Amino acid sequence: MITVEHLNIFFGHGRTRSHAVKDVGFTVEKGQSFGLVGESGSGKSTVLNCIAGLLTHWSGRMEIDGVRLTQTRDMAFCRKVQMVFQDPYGSLHPRHTIDRTLKEPVKIHRFGDANHRVARVLDEVGLGAKFRFRFPHQLSGGQRQRVAVARALILDPEVILLDEPTSALDVSIQAEVLNLLQDIRKEKNLTYILVSHDLAVVSHMCDTLLVMNRGKTVETITRSQLKRGAISEKYTKQLLIAGKGYDRTAIDQFQDFE
């Protein structure tokens, strides 16, 4: 479903030019959940933004369902590929009701029966009709993120890009949203790319994950390898230790990877 080959991205010019993503490549099968993991600044969200078409100054090769992507995307691409952002409050218009937010993409893509679609997706994300005419500030963080998921689903996409979808939520709510995303993927046979710095989240959600550091690929591992601890690269092992919580002794032994 998704192919990325030799992806390179630069920011800035001259002495300030930064090579943010360095020759990254991977493939994702249809119906698979694929993770991009790494610490902040590793380039994982930049890769996701390139696939979504939010960044255009990239080089390399990207394909979705056999169709090669260019720097500009058409309406068909937007119907096939949708994105859920990290901050649900920032990604929802504060003065638009949930109903208006969900109807907007339906209107843009000229789909019919907007009321039915809104009612359907609100039920699919576990909110229901009672939330339809509320504003984002009247919802909790978890409810807002469910609305963001509903907005991604309303066009019946085949691919959903998830940029740290639970990092802005309370720990108690994170599992609910992750389980919701898992159930929706299995029910609709969707393909996910999930970006996260949390290996526990990625291991729960993804079949395969690509570890990144400073814009480069460190290694690609499966969920079973991660659970068994069958990791070859020192950076990945260090990332796994860091994800288990604060340990002063372990942190003192951490090293900086170039």
pLDDT at 241 (0 to 100)? 67
Q: Is the dihedral of CA 122, 125, 130, 133 positive or negative?
A: negative
Q: How far apart are CA 152 and CA 138, in angstroms?
A: 20
Q: How far is CA 134 from CA 5, 97, 102, 127, 165, in A?
A: 43, 5, 12, 11, 21
Q: What is the pLDDT of residues 92-150, one digit of tens each?
A: 999 999 999 999 999 999 998 899 999 999 999 999 899 999 999 999 988 999 999 99
DSSP character for 139? Answer: S
Question: What's the whole-number mean pLDDT along residues 20-49?
Answer: 93
Q: Is the pLDDT of residue 199 over 90?
A: no
Contacts with 40 (C-beta within 8 Å, 6 or more apart), sequence order: 197
- Residue 149 has φ and ψ, to the nearest 5°, of -65, -40
Per-residue pLDDT reduced to its tens digit, 67-84: 999 998 999 999 999 999
The pLDDT score that the predictor gives to residue 112 is 82
User: Mean per-residue pLDDT for 196-212?
Assistant: 86
Ordered structural domains, the chain, with CATH: 2-252 (3.40.50.300)
Of the candidates 217, 255, 215, the residue with the CA atom closest to the CA atom of residue 41: 215
Confidence check: pLDDT of 232 > 80: no
pLDDT band at 168 (very low <50, low <70, confident <90, very high): confident
